[in-house]
A and B are shown apart, each in its own frame.
Chain A
Amino acid sequence: MNAVPLTHILFVSTALFFIGMYGLFTRRNLITMLMSIELILNSVNINFVAFNKYLYPSKLDGVFFTVFIITIAAAEAAVAIAIIINLYRSHKSIDVEDAAELKF
């Protein structure tokens, strides 16, 4: 178990975070942008669990933060998809460039 230091887990979660950030920057489709946000949230969850396990094994706060983040991510995804489908009904497109009425 101790063969892998904490920093290597943090490197993995950092790489996953920046993969999600790259997706958020390049994608112009709302659903794929939502997928990138899910990747980012998951990388944060890995960090919380790893810190809890390696640095504070007597407590459980990291695990609780992870549980709450997963809950809020589920609520966020549900609301986001409701908005996306409603946008599709009115604009016939889910490209962010087409949803520009609130821009100015």
Chain B
Amino acid sequence: MSASAILFYAISAFILGMGLLAVTSTKIFRSAIWLLLSLVGIAALYFWMQVEFIAAVQIVVYVGGIVVLIIFSIFLTQQSGTEMPKPAMKRTVFSVLAALFGFGFSFNLIDHYGFVPTGTQPFNVSVSEIGTQMLSTTAHGYILPFEVVSMLLLSAMIGCIVIAMKTPEQKAAEMETIVIQNEDTPGPSEVITPHISEPLITEEA
């Protein structure tokens, strides 16, 4: 067994162990940290396969973006130290059975399918090669998916803003509370009105 193979099995064991801890830990913050380590392990697997660009994207987007987003949402929505309730016994048993059956089935299928490589050329995944092919308009170019994905990202961004925005009723309710608070305080108080009812500049006809 060569050093490369030993490295592969070590990385695989790391990924699977961290993944198992991420889905079984009862503390949600720890679960997020295990997920982060599992994603780092997957980036290491990409490095082992010598696809450095994908490994870099994996670290930047998943570890630097998505996990940080998840951790922020954990802080915003729950007490991170509290334990989550354990899943019901029946559900755990049947989930384990389903996962094991699925894994056994796929294992058998992969094991008996003879994969035939099509070529013996060296695998060239330099960044310049990826960039050239992604932005080319010829037969194997990926310019159309690239543009479609840019539209998807834009619409996702707008969608997030719309979801997070307050509805007009919520805004009006907040304004009411501000007015009430100002009435409680002694002395003259400024009442902030949500809408300017009359135009600021009126012209005599």
Whether A and B are associated in the same complex: the answer reads yes
Given contacts A11-B107, A15-B103, contact A85 B78 (CB under 8 A): no
Q: Count contacts on A: residues with CB < 8 A to the other chain.
A: 69
Question: A74: which of B61, B85, B116 is its contact (CB, 8 Å)?
Answer: B61
Roughly how many angstroms separate A39 CA and B37 CA in the complex, as a whole number? 12
Question: B54: which of A34, A49, A71 is its contact (CB, 8 Å)?
Answer: A49
Given contacts A14-B110, A15-B16, A85-B76, contact A3 B2 (CB under 8 A): yes
Assess the A3–B1 pair: CB atoms within 8 A: yes
Judged by a CB distance under 8 angstroms, whether A99 is at the interface is no
Which residues of A lie under 8 Å from residue B19 when comparing CB positions? 16, 19-20, 39
Judged by a CB distance under 8 angstroms, whether A59 is at the interface is yes
Judged by a CB distance under 8 angstroms, whether B179 is at the interface is no
Q: Count contacts on B: residues with CB < 8 A to the other chain.
A: 83
Roughly how many angstroms separate A75 CA and B95 CA in the complex, as a whole number? 28
From 57 to 94 in chain B, residues with beta carbon under 8 angstroms from any chain A beta carbon are 57-58, 61-62, 65-66, 69-70, 73-74, 76-78, 84-85, 87, 91-92, 94
Judged by a CB distance under 8 angstroms, whether B191 is at the interface is no
Interface centre among A4, A6, A27 (most CB of B within 10 A): A4
A-B contact pairs, 12 of them (CB 8 A): A11-B107, A14-B106, A19-B23, A26-B91, A31-B70, A58-B118, A68-B145, A70-B57, A74-B65, A77-B70, A79-B160, A82-B164
- B residues contacting A by CB (< 8 A) are 1-2, 4-5, 8, 12, 15-16, 19-20, 22-24, 28, 31-32, 35, 38-39, 42, 45-46, 49-51, 53-54, 57-58, 61-62, 65-66, 69-70, 73-74, 76-78, 84-85, 87, 91-92, 94-96, 98-100, 102-103, 106-107, 110-111, 115-123, 125, 129-130, 133-134, 140, 142, 145, 149, 152-153, 156-157, 159-160, 163-164
- A residues contacting B by CB (< 8 A) are 1, 3-4, 6-12, 14-16, 18-23, 25-29, 31-32, 34-36, 38-39, 42, 45-46, 49-50, 52-61, 63-64, 66-68, 70-79, 81-86, 88, 94
Other 6 A-B pairs with CB < 8 A, given A8-B12, A9-B49, A78-B157: A25-B91, A35-B23, A72-B149, A82-B159, A82-B164, A85-B73
